[in-house]
Amino acid sequence: MNTAPYAERRARLLAQLEPGSVAVLATSPEVARNADSDYPYRHDSAFYYLTGFTEPEAVLVLVAARGAQAAQAILFCREKNPEREIWDGLRYGPEAAREAFGFDAAFPVDALDAHMAALLADVPALYCKLARDERLDAQLRRWLDSVRRQGRSGIQAPSALRDVTPLLDEMRVVKDAFEQAVMLRAGEISGAAHVRAMRAARPGVFEYELEAELLYEFRRNGAQFPAYTPIVASGANSCILHYNSNDRRIADGELVLIDAGCELDGYASDITRTFPVNGRFSAPQRSLYELVLAAQQAAFDAVQPGRTFHSVHEAAVRVLAQGMLDVGLLKRDQHGSVDDVIASKAYLPFYMHGTSHWLGMDVHDAGAYRLPTGAEAPGQEKPSRPLREGMVLTIEPGIYVRPAEGVPEQFWNIGIRIEDDVIVAPGGHALLTGSAPKTVAEIEALMKGAA
């Protein structure tokens, strides 16, 4: 395993801590599903970002350098236990974990309380993920109380308790080459899964049958999990943004909206494709589909270093608003020009979500979308964040038409979303999910060949 990226991240975080201070991060706990079974285990993203370590019951302690005292990265993890390993699988144990993952020291997690009283003595500040983990919060209180009880001996507890989350979130916004390579592979796997689902589609299949094709392709290619519960929405279900029952039989002539991506080695992909279950777009479906595709291209064009995050959404909204006027979803005599539609937000009944979000270890990844300048008046919106090379975001415009008075009936129950993942690159963007076809011609040719 290449542990260099994790060690480099720990060093970057340590350099931002107050000299001599301590940071503590715990991984996620195991969660019971029912009487004798747990949910599939998934580590905490921030913990994994700094360690690469995927076992439960683990805690990372970082001690910042001060004077002649060098910085330290210490792991607390489960001890080797041959009997439990027969039932549950390999445990590294502290010594093997220290060597394999490049820590300065490692100890049994059961010894954490005993070590923390010494590690927190006479340090200026304690960093942790404040109010995120009730169990760790309770441990922190015990550790601080233990140090305070030594006050008569001249030992002082940390005078400041600080949230490490903003520092880590900011680090995670820009992806390094190691992360980008993993995310590219995740995008390729997810693209292949969407192709498989298109090839398996035909009138009369159930939504869950297409979901099964996705999950098979994810796992067949080494992805450990779906990055989120797949959405396989047909007919009117395609107008439900977070639909995931996936239990309806798909009728001839309907569209299928699939929003699904895999998680590979801790990193998510996020793709949406919309296609006709019979392989042929009707005229109303095609007109709305090509509108959404044009909006996505406008958003792609806005992804450039120095442009703002919000400008991506603005570009998509302008195309969608104009298209809604052109096809008659919005009436010109009621809503006016495209500028009027945007100003009044008359497009919201048909497009009610944002065009992008950060993507990384989490599907909606860490990082601020707006940054304070210090000059905002009370209640004033902070400025949108400028894009930088290495940021990864989704581009996902859509249009959703529910039956309503004044809405042309030919468009009722058509929901379309087209979503891809991009890296901000010099002069523009690099596409991570290009393996999934999305033009009308590409989709119809693929599905005709599968028939």
Active-site positions?
36, 242, 259, 270, 353, 357, 364, 396, 400, 417, 419
Phi and psi of 189, rounded to 5°?
-65, -45
Query: Which residues have C-beta within 8 Å of that of residue 112, sequence separation ≥ 6?
Result: 59, 76, 139
Query: Which residues have C-beta within 8 Å of that of residue 427, sequence separation ≥ 6?
Result: 304, 305
Phi and psi of 100, rounded to 5°?
-70, -35
| Pairing between β-strand 255-260 and β-strand 271-276 as defined by DSSP bridges | antiparallel
Cα 58 from Cα 60, distance rounded (Å): 7
Alpha helices, DSSP H only, in 328-420? 332-335, 338-344
Cα 21 from Cα 4, distance rounded (Å): 23
Cα 42 from Cα 40, distance rounded (Å): 7
Strand order in the sheet with 231-234: 231-234, 255-260, 271-276
Cα 449 from Cα 269, distance rounded (Å): 27
What is the Rg, in whole angstroms, of the alpha carbon atoms belonging to the chain? 25
Residue 39, burial from CB neighbour count under 10 angstroms (0-12, 13-18, 19+): exposed
Q: Cβ(230)–Cβ(260) under 8 Å? A: yes
Residue 421, burial from CB neighbour count under 10 angstroms (0-12, 13-18, 19+): buried
CA distances from 48 to 25, 44, 94, 424 (A): 10, 6, 16, 24
Strand order in the sheet with 420-425: 392-395, 420-425, 428-431
